[in-house]
C-alpha cells in the first residue's frame, strides 16, 4: 500500500485530474475532501443545481465515501472556480 502512495512512482498525467500534492517529508499523497457544507461555502449554488451540473459534466463529480456520505476533491472544485475566474478576466468576443 505504501508503494501506491509514493508520488515519485506516478507521472503528473496519471493524477492530473486530482492534482494531488506530495508531502515532502513522508512521501504520502495529501488530498482534502470537502463536505456538502464546505462545498456550499465555496460554491454558492443549491445542492440541486450542483447535482444538475455534475450530471451534465460541468462540475467535478462527487466521491462516495460511505452509504450516506459524499464529498468533493477540493483541488477539483478550486480548479473549476479558477476556470470561471479566468473566463471572467478574459476579453469577451463581443466587446468593442
DSSP designation for 19? T
CATH number for the 32-91 domain, one of 1.10.287, 1.10.238, 3.40.10, 1.10.10? Answer: 1.10.238
DSSP-assigned states of every residue in 43-58: S-S-HHHHHHHHHTTS
What pLDDT is stored for residue 89 in this prediction?
Answer: 79
Q: Report angle CA 35, 39, 43 to the nearest 5 degrees.
A: 175
pLDDT tens for 11-52 read: 333 344 444 455 555 666 788 999 999 999 999 999 999 999
Distance CA 49, CA 43 (A): 11
Sorted by where each begins, the domain ranges of the chain are: 1-31, 32-91
Amino acid at each position: 500500500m505504501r508503494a501506491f502512495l509514493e508520488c515519485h512512482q506516478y507521472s503528473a498525467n496519471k493524477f492530473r485530474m486530482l492534482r494531488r500534492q506530495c508531502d515532502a517529508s513522508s512521501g504520502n499523497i495529501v488530498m482534502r475532501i470537502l463536505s456538502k457544507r464546505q462545498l456550499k461555502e465555496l460554491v454558492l449554488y443549491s445542492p440541486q443545481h450542483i447535482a444538475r451540473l455534475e450530471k451534465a459534466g460541468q462540475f467535478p463529480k462527487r466521491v462516495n465515501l460511505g452509504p450516506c456520505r459524499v464529498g468533493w476533491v477540493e483541488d477539483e472544485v478550486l480548479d473549476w472556480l479558477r476556470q470561471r475566474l479566468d473566463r471572467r478576466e478574459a476579453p469577451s468576443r463581443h466587446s468593442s
